[in-house]
Structure 1
Amino acid sequence: MALTFAATPRSAAPAGHRRPQSGRRALSRHLTGWAFAGPATLIVVGLSLFPAVWAFFISRAKWNGIAPATQVGWQNYQRLAGDPDMAAAAQHTLLLTALFVPASIVIGILVAIALNQKIRLIGFYRTCIFVPYVASAAATGILAGFVFNPQFGAANEILRNLGIPAQQFLESPGQAMYIICIIALWGEIGFTAVIYLAALQDIPKELIEAARTDGASPWRIFLHVTLPELRPVTVFTAIWQTITALQLFDLIYTTTRGGPLNSTQTVVYYIYELAFQTQRLGYGAAAAYLLFAVTLLLSALVIWYGRRRGTEAF
């Protein structure tokens, strides 16, 4: 009598026998990943959250960094509301932001369109545009100080050759902030150009070809096809450049140090003077938290406006 045994394939094994092994593998992968990323994450979180929380407690105290702190509640914030120096610094910061952000977006789009063409040495041109962004902002400020020097700077030399009177540039209260904006644009255009260049290359070519087939001119294609496709990138760039303008410090420190006559004293530089030059750490921390609140509010408004217009950038 022959006995027949039915072989059970491996795939027919009960699912309960496989789940523990797959669960262990997944757990092992997660633990391995956190073993690599965990220490760095703890360091980053510790170096960002702990100072922020500590600065909030400092902002509610009167402290010079040496003597014991005296708790004053919200008095530092109340004093900021009536501080004329803080108001002047806020005006300078708003002027810089209003000049810098739109100009960086417009110039970034134009440069990105130029770099998106199929011409010889295009990789070299793209590298040249991005180099100023990679360079240190402090080094850029020091170099700009020589370029815009009223006595022997290259900028005035060019103006003299063109028959234009020499200018004071960074030594003029009426010109210094505009020169700071030009220097900041020089260093940041590479970033916006690269962002917009990547966005231009992601636009479906079928849309542009369809518009050309319908007889649309290059200007209409740019206005009705390219720009709408760039809206999410524009929202992101506007927020990023706004934060950059509000937190601009290194260029001002290496060029004018808030002068002349405090005409380039921004909020960040005013906070630096309060905290590290006059040792008013509590008052400076309160000003820093006020700047953080304004930055957060502006970013939220831009994101809300973008989503209301149907632009999802985040």
Structure 2
Amino acid sequence: MAVTFAATPRAHPSTVPAKRGPRGRALRRGLTGWAFAGPATVIVVGLSIFPAVWAFFISRAKWNGIAPATMVGWGNYQKLLQDPDMIAATRHTLILTAIFVPGSIVLGILIAVALNQKIKLIGFYRTCIFVPYVASAAATGILANFVFNPQFGAANDILRTLGLPQSQFLENQHLAIYIICLILLWGEVGFTTVIYLAALQDIPRELVEAAVVDGASKWKVFRHVTLPELRPVTVFVAVWQTITAMQLFDLIYTTTRGGPLNSTQTVVYYIYELAFQTQRLGYGAAAAYLLFIVTMVLSLGVILYGRRRGSEVF
């Protein structure tokens, strides 16, 4: 009996799966990455870049958000340079920045050095320093209103206990901006402390030990070893805190609302009043762009100064 074997059909070359090459794997990785990052990128572009471009066109128009806009070119910017309210708000913002930025750097370094010591309950102390930074600015402002209340505030209670004259604090037009700066320091110093504490722990112990062996005192070690090693971090902190001070709004809103007599009105709060209270959207957008330019110039100045001193952070 003859047995026949059927020939196995050969697969067509086009049906054989091709081996995935390096380009295919790279394309697959790229598509996978964009599948994760794509939605976030669309959100960032939609909520930041597009509104910024749109705001620029609004800044060159006179518009209240309802009636048709009237193009005025650079007229809004020219008016801002002569606006007494804008000039006053800029002065208040610069005063706040000039006090807050160096103060947060100095306090951050000193507290970080203290918290870098081996003492009991060090974790508890570090947590206490950082808690005000985690709290919202709204909560900080509400708490500050109670502390500095002229009738029943804790600040005046302390002054009465010490036999000192009481103060109006946030109701005093000559004192309110400095009280705001004090509140801002209390809320933000935790950030600079944590940054400097991490930088202190990254300083090589060999440098400190070599300086001690050479007979350097603690002050000389701090001045000639610690501070130079902290210089790049200081540049970063200065830029970050400058942006924080220039864009301060929430603390002003929850404490003084720009008062008394506009003595604490910052640029951002003035922009808020222009855009959302008086409906001068074009004028407010122009003020926002001027604030952006000034903030960028100050930040670049700090960065260039740091690079000239040998501290390249960005």
Whole-Å separation in 1 of the counterparts to 2:285 and 2:233: 33
Find out whether 1:78 has 2:78 as its counterpart: yes
Matched with 2:96 is 96
Matched with 1:52 is 52
Q: How far is 1:127 from its partner? A: 1.0
Q: How far is 1:24 from its partner? A: 2.5
Whole-Å separation in 2 of the counterparts to 1:80 and 1:113: 44
Whole-Å separation in 1 of the counterparts to 2:270 and 2:65: 18
Matched with 1:162 is 162
Matched with 2:297 is 297
Give the alignment of 1:193-208 within 5 angstroms.
193-208=193-208
Q: How far is 1:155 from its partner? A: 0.6
Could you say what the CA RMSD is over the residues aligned between the two structures, in angstroms?
1.2
Whole-Å separation in 2 of the counterparts to 1:270 and 1:58: 17
Task: Give the structure-2-normalised TM-score.
Answer: 0.93
Find out whether 1:221 has 2:203 as its counterpart: no
Matched with 1:238 is 238
Give the alignment of 1:1-314 within 5 angstroms.
21-314=21-314
- Can you give the 5+ residue segments of structure 1 that lack an aligned partner in the other structure? 1-18
Whole-Å separation in 2 of the counterparts to 1:215 and 1:118: 23
- Can you give the 5+ residue segments of structure 2 that lack an aligned partner in the other structure? 1-18
Q: State the AA in 2 paired with 1:243.
A: I
Task: Give the structure-1-normalised TM-score.
Answer: 0.93
How many percent identity over aligned positions?
Answer: 80
Q: State the AA in 1 paired with 2:255.
A: T
Whole-Å separation in 2 of the counterparts to 1:23 and 1:128: 53
Q: State the AA in 2 paired with 1:33.
A: G
Q: How far is 1:21 from its partner? A: 2.9
Whole-Å separation in 2 of the counterparts to 1:81 and 1:165: 41
Whole-Å separation in 2 of the counterparts to 1:202 and 1:30: 35
Instruction: Give a deviation string over 1:260-284, Cα, whole Å, max 9, x none.
Output: 0110011111111111111111000
Indicate the structure (1 or 2) with the bigger Cα radius of gyration: 2
Q: How far is 1:249 from its partner? A: 0.4
Q: How far is 1:27 from its partner? A: 2.5
Q: How far is 1:20 from its partner? A: 5.2
**Count of equivalent residues:** 297
